[in-house]
Amino acid sequence: MQVRILSIDGGGARAIIPATILEYIEGKLQELAKNPKVRLSDFLDFVAGTAAGAITSTMIITPDSTGKAVYSMKNIVSNLYEFGEVYYQKKDWRTLWGYRGSKYPQEAVSAKHLKFFNHWKMKDLLLPTAIPGYDILNRKPVIFTNKDGSDIHEDLLAKDVVQGSGASPAWINPMEFRDGVNKSIIVNGNVIANNPAMIAYIEAGKTPQIIDKFKRITPDNTFLISLGTGKFQNSGYSLANVKRWNSGKWFNLVTSMSIESSTIIAEYKIRNLYNSYNADNYIRINPIIRLGNSNIMDTSLENVNHLLQDAKNYIATNQSLLDDVAIHLFNQDERYSTMLF
């Protein structure tokens, strides 16, 4: 048996891409199990997500009142459409549309998180998880975990942790957490790890329920699925194009470069770790975006539908790979490991 880890990048509106791909994988798992009620979380041991990726990863492991996963991946894809409606479109005139304070209304954003995550605490989630954020008060990265034995974050509300990980400066207000005299103010996790795959691998190795079962984790016994939110084949920028840019354009480019670079470096590190063991248990899925907009803040219905079609096009041309991922997850489950295909 192998440890099964799912990691989902941040990416704003583009979160619809990995969610749609995971909807296909979950459907395949239901087909293999001959049970339409099984959920993706039934075939995982650990999940991680950053920002919008944290919305998806946490929905995957949010329980219902009976202790089962409340959302199917089909539900989650639909929920992301609803998140987009409030997250990036309803600008708040009270902040002068972002010139004084965050651009989007905190009340509406918080209400949406409450609707989907209720008052579940981190410790209530079905699986161990890791959600990165950055503490601007204490100037340090924070990895929110729930079942690592430390009890540090277990009593935090999942909705608040997820909202903090997605709190893009100037767009959504930071989240404040208090623990006695200690305080932290959390902003977007993509500041430190837009691609949380390496964090997921490390934190899984510190989780008691995983160590008790597998003793230790290495690339040889860890199946890691890392999903990006799509990439673009941009032509780059010439000196003639940029030498007259103002500070606003440079800010947008530097922000984009920082996120893209951290994503690529994380992928480079985890891939080389697995290569050093000659292990083929690492899968990176990050489709090329041809129809959608590169702007992660564009959650217009037109753009999200284009991104959805990009994901469906990827599924159509990579069905064999995705089927293999589902079969591997299925065969690593003790309930089904004796079945042959």
- Given this model, what pLDDT does residue 93 score? 47
Contact criterion met (CB below 8 Å) for 230 and 284:
no
Please report the DSSP string for 29-85 in residue order. HHHHHT-TT--GGGG-SEEEE-THHHHHHHHHT-B-TTSSBS--HHHHHHHHHHHHH
Is there a contact between 168 and 187 (Cβ–Cβ < 8 Å)? yes
Tokens 């041809």 map to which residue?
A: 290
DSSP state of 160: H
CA distances from 313 to 44, 302, 306, 310 (A): 26, 17, 10, 5
As given in the structure block, the two tokens for residue 6 are 């799912």
Distances (CA, A) of 236 to 233, 253, 287: 9, 11, 19
What pLDDT score does 261 carry? 82
Max intra-chain CA distance, the chain: 65
Which of these, 10, 95, 20, lies nearest to 305 by C-alpha position? 20
For 7, 70, 224, 263, 284, the CA distances from 57, given in Å and listed in that order, are 8, 13, 14, 17, 16
β-strands 3-8, 222-227: how paired? parallel
pLDDT along the chain (341 residues), means of 10: 95 92 97 94 96 96 94 94 66 47 69 88 96 94 91 91 85 83 87 93 94 91 95 77 79 73 88 92 94 79 91 96 96 68 43
Q: Residue 332 has what pLDDT? A: 86
The pLDDT of residue 103 = 60
Residue 229: per-residue pLDDT: 93
Predicted local confidence at residue 8, as pLDDT: 97
| Other residues' Cβ atoms within 10 Å of the Cβ of residue 149 | 12
Instruction: Return the sign of the alpha-carbon dihedral for residues 247, 252, 258, 260.
Output: negative
What is the reported pLDDT for 87? 55
pLDDT, tens digit, 9 for 90 and up, residues 91-148: 544 444 444 555 666 777 888 888 889 999 999 999 999 999 999 999 999 999 998 8
